Structure 1
Amino acid sequence: MSRKMVEIAVRQNEVPVKELSVQEEKRLEQLENVVVENFKTFIQVGRALAEIRDRKLYRKKAMTFERYCKELFDIAKSRAYELINAADVIENVRNCGQNDDVDLSSFFVNESQIRPLTKLRPEQQVSVCRAAIESAPNGRMTATHVKKVVKEYLGEKIQKTVRTAQEKVIQASSPEFSEAFEKFSWQIIKERGSNYKFTSRGEIVKCLDQLRADLAEDGEFIDDPVFHGGGDDMNKLERAGFSLFRMDRASMSIKRRSENGGWQKHSGAYETIKEMEAAFKDLLQDDMHLRG
């Protein structure tokens, strides 16, 4: 018998629902509190892992944070960072939403609901969090709903960025280039609308990065403005004992600033941007290493 047929049969028979006793009501409340509290332990776990990583408390048990997580807790480094990032979101939303009548973070009861918000910058998380709460169907928060709100927000953000870029191109470029750029940029919006079914987001970014890198070397070299303090500031930092690193998405590698002022390959090539970003984040845990 199908689920629908069972529901119809129950309605036809009008099976009465036995009311809960006072003791049962109290016990139900206790059990629900246990479930909620255990759901929220991910915040404590994330904070604990973050402190272990940041203070390198794992150093006597393992050479790296990744190995420590795998050997002691049997979890991948990616899972550890999911918990750390989720705890960071909760803390950010709680602190930045203090002017709200209620604690915004209290609407999220498990890490899967928070995970989509980790894709956003801290200043974006609070506004998107409010939007998710206000639009939650029947006031019920779900991971699927949060994913939808985040996706809509990012889509609007990309469209706004595309429109701004098109306006700038029109002002500074030839009509032919402007027309071609407009078609290309709207094609990116179209690809996103299909959830990158036909062309992956990673492939689009990789092609754009490679094109940018090649154009920068076509004629007089155009260096990236990756370090806004300028060369003098970089020299001062290096003389103080710091090492500067940067990610090069064109070659999918991490580069280190050399003594002659250029950038030399440090590690890679990595297979994915996510893998390169994780390696870069680990590298920067050393207090003497800086982002270029």
Structure 2
Amino acid sequence: MARDFYEALGVPRNASQDEIQRAYRKLARTYHPDVNSDPGAEDRFKEISEAYDVLSDPDTRKRYDAFGADFRQVPPDVDPSTWAQARGRARAGAGQAHGGPFTYADAEGIDLEDLLGSMFGGRGRRGWGPVPGADQEAELVLSVEDAYRGGRRRITLDGRSLDVTIPAGVTDGQRIRLAGQGGRGSDGAAAGDLYLVVRVAPHPRYRVDGRNISVDLPLAPWEAALGASVVIDTPGGEAKVKVPAGTSSGRRLRLRGRGLPNPRGQPGDLFAEVKIMVPDRLTDEERRLFEQLAAASRFDPRRGS
């Protein structure tokens, strides 16, 4: 059984949305595979990402609170109290069949169709004729680089291995449809579809907003003052940025079309945000030159002239 989502994030069940977000960000910074090489970090990151995806959406969180681990399989029109009563009866029956107290493990063998049938006066789904399978959702966590490139990936979901084609330039929240991989239909009816909801994971270097990507551009004081041509890393490979003379920290330099690709339109842009850096320690020669500059310059950064 998967760990409870609240437990995965380390928050109480009455946690506010802000508390859930803060807990996720703290854990993501710790377990992101790009910053944590521990063999179990990636699985832990996927776990907290799935928990955050469910609990950060008020409607999905409400269904999770009502139906627990079954929230994706229960049809939307089922009343939570009726569901709880039906499960209680099923658990009691499982306990009697085992000749002892009921445990949660017994509940894992309960047939969802039998439960739904007990909710409606014993009329199971099979008694209604063929019923198509329900559509289902799951989360697909991608790095910025994977979202940029796309490609094929094999995922494991509920014990099944599925091959997924990821379009180049997928964005956070985009859904990838896997036809016929959702809930099973009854009496020969078609299975539902599985929708993979893309979540672009936090990245130590890149910040993604839609299709636009931002990245810090560290510059030496003389590069900012005199201008320079600087090579930076982007998800699509190296790119050159022309830094105009007189550039200050905080200036955003745009590289058009170097953001996430868009198969149906304009790609996003990449923004290099300037951060002027100074040496932690100066050599004697560097100190002498800076002192000469300080004596010769009339520039006052607090007056802007």
TM-score range relative to shorter protein: under 0.3
Q: Which has the higher contact order (CA 8 A, sep 6+)?
A: 2
Greater strand content: 2
Taking structure 2 as the reference length, the TM-score comes to 0.27
